[in-house]
Amino acid sequence: MELTDASPLDVVARTTRYAASVGAQKRQRYKTVALIVEEHEWQPPEVVAIRVGIEETALRQQVVRLGSRDRSGAEKVIGG
């Protein structure tokens, strides 16, 4: 199969792999491609769960300043 500029698929990468059998009597060259077959917009999730250790007070304060919410079931949000 020959890919041309008119091909409807986008080639992401093309690689060449060489292989020789035992005794080197048969040598093969393989050309492989990675194709994009579908494209659509993607949005990252709005909520990301992280765990901050209780002893990491500086990091915990930074996370709270950035607007984190405590969903661990703890009674008190540190810094809140």
pLDDT of residue 80: 46
Phi, psi of 39 (to 5 degrees): -140, 135
Cα–Cα dist 62/21, whole Å: 59
Cα–Cα dist 1/28, whole Å: 17
Residue-wise DSSP of 22-39: GGG-SEEEEEEEEEE---
Six token digits for residue 36? 């994009």
Beta bridge partners of 30: 17
Give every residue of the chain whose pLDDT is below 50, as ranges: 75-80
Beta bridge partners of 27: 20
